[in-house]
Amino acid sequence: MRWWDLAPVLELERELFPEDAWSPGMFWSELAHARGPQATRRYLVAEAGDGRDGRLVGYGGLAAVDGTGDIQTIATARDQWGTGLGSRLLTELLGAATDFECHEVLLEVRVDNLRAQRLYERFGFEPIGFRRGYYQPGNVDALVMRRTTQTSSEAPPVQGT
């Protein structure tokens, strides 16, 4: 993700998360930590078509601090649901966590977003707790999930679609 991606990212963000969409400042702040030798973030976008004139259909971001990764955001356009795009984005973010040498990856997901929870479970995330009223202004709880890094001999095959 680059600065020129922010307008379409924000448009998709508002469409998918009308009550609790990230602000432009939140994305700018994250991107400020995504470049250079001290980078602690990885943000990516997916475009339909060949990428030169395709529309933005998904995005995701990961923060890494002291060996722990945190999936900050991940989203796909509604017309991409069921195509495997979410799995591809999540695979890339988990690869970034490996690059950052994270021993675990955390995320929060709305308790009412069962579709996303099933995706995360397929990738080995397990529920570890709740954050009450995490999503505002709707006061919706978040399910906290964690995936620990395993050695290659322990790791099950990725079950993404």
Q: Residue 8: is the preceding peptide bond cis (ω within 30°)?
A: no
Q: Is 5 in contact with 45 (CB distance < 8 Å)?
A: yes
> Which conformational region is residue 82 in: left (phi greater than 0), alpha (psi within -120 to 50 degrees), or beta?
left
In the residue annotation, 47 being an active-site residue is answered as no
Respond yes or no: is residue 15 known to be catalytic. no
Selected catalytic residue, list 30, 108, 134, 135: 108
Q: Which two tokens stand for residue 18?
A: 């009308």
Strand order in the sheet with 68-76: 41-47, 56-65, 68-76, 104-110, 140-148, 126-135
Check 43, 59, 120, 134 and give the catalytic one.
120
Residue reference for tokens 């069921």 = 82
Active site residues per annotation: 108, 120
